[in-house]
Amino acid sequence: MHGSEFLEDVRFLDLMPSVNGELYYTVWDYAWSESYINSRVSEEKLDRILALYDYLLSVEGYRLSHFGIEGVSYRAAEDGSIVLLTKEPPSALYPSIAMMGSLVCWNSGIQQETEVSLVVPRKYREEDEKRVERARRCRIPAYEYECSMIASRMEDSFSIDTNRIFQQIVLGTEPVEEIWAEIIEEYKEQGLMETIEEVNRRMREE
């Protein structure tokens, strides 16, 4: 990227401790996509639809629908990674792949690298696996939806601006850990701990 090593431009943000100093990791279910085929479609058309799906899930179909034409917009390196050959993204050369690439499988990143080409360097994937392993050792925080509802009904509204936090971290020049500590202290001064205590009190009363 831009003539430098991938991991010099793309870095990992490690897990940040909460206000009590513990590491937590919030877990969501996997997102998914679904395809619906009209029950009145003819057998012939159904076969064509399923044939297209099969092709898009193949290695050849995956590469075509994500990177365009081999030798023109990309080439496959020996390690399986994809090297783009044009300054423009493949979708600029072949507009239809913007839709075809996610028609059947919107996130191929969860597949094995032997099944699809590596889009990012293996070193990055290794770092990602380390981060995932650290997350597995963290506690999953308890979550009560009613807490959010109580907080939204409180007279003294307290809110956390996630967009601003993101900007502070991305644009900041200090180490991320120091920026995060400053953010926590800033919200404490605005009444974070008092808000948590009040929400918990109201939860106990309900």
Whole-angstrom Cα distance, residue 173 to residue 86?
33
| Run of H or E including 84 | strand 82-84
**Strand partners of residue 76:** 82
- Residue 132 shares a structural domain with residue 150: no
- Residue 130 shares a structural domain with residue 178: no
The last residue of one of the domains, among 136, 163, 181, is 136
pTM of the model: 0.49
Q: What number of residues does the chain have?
A: 206
Predicted pLDDT of residue 30:
52
- Residue 132 shares a structural domain with residue 149: no
Examine residue 194 and state whether it is found in any structural domain, yes or no.
yes
Concatenating the DSSP letter of every residue in 48-83 gives HHHHHHHHHHSHHHHHHHHH-SBTTTEEE-TTSBEE
Tens of each residue's pLDDT in the chain, 206 residues? 444 576 776 666 778 777 778 888 766 555 566 788 888 999 999 999 999 999 988 888 888 988 899 999 998 888 777 888 988 888 899 998 878 888 887 665 545 554 455 556 677 778 888 888 888 888 887 778 888 888 888 877 778 888 898 888 888 888 888 888 899 899 999 989 999 899 989 888 87
Predicted pLDDT of residue 185:
92
The whole domain housing 84 covers: 30-136
Examine residue 98 and state whether it is found in any structural domain, yes or no.
yes
Examine residue 68 and state whether it is found in any structural domain, yes or no.
yes
- Residue 62 shares a structural domain with residue 151: no
CB atoms within 10 A of CB 39: 6
Whole-angstrom Cα distance, residue 170 to residue 57?
36
Predicted pLDDT of residue 108:
58
Whole-angstrom Cα distance, residue 82 to residue 78?
9
How many domains, in total, are found in the chain? 2
Of 42, 30, 46, the closest CA to residue 105 belongs to 30
Whole-angstrom Cα distance, residue 53 to residue 2?
35
- Residue 108 shares a structural domain with residue 149: no
Predicted pLDDT of residue 110:
43
Predicted pLDDT of residue 2:
45
- Residue 110 shares a structural domain with residue 40: yes
- Residue 67 shares a structural domain with residue 162: no
Examine residue 120 and state whether it is found in any structural domain, yes or no.
yes
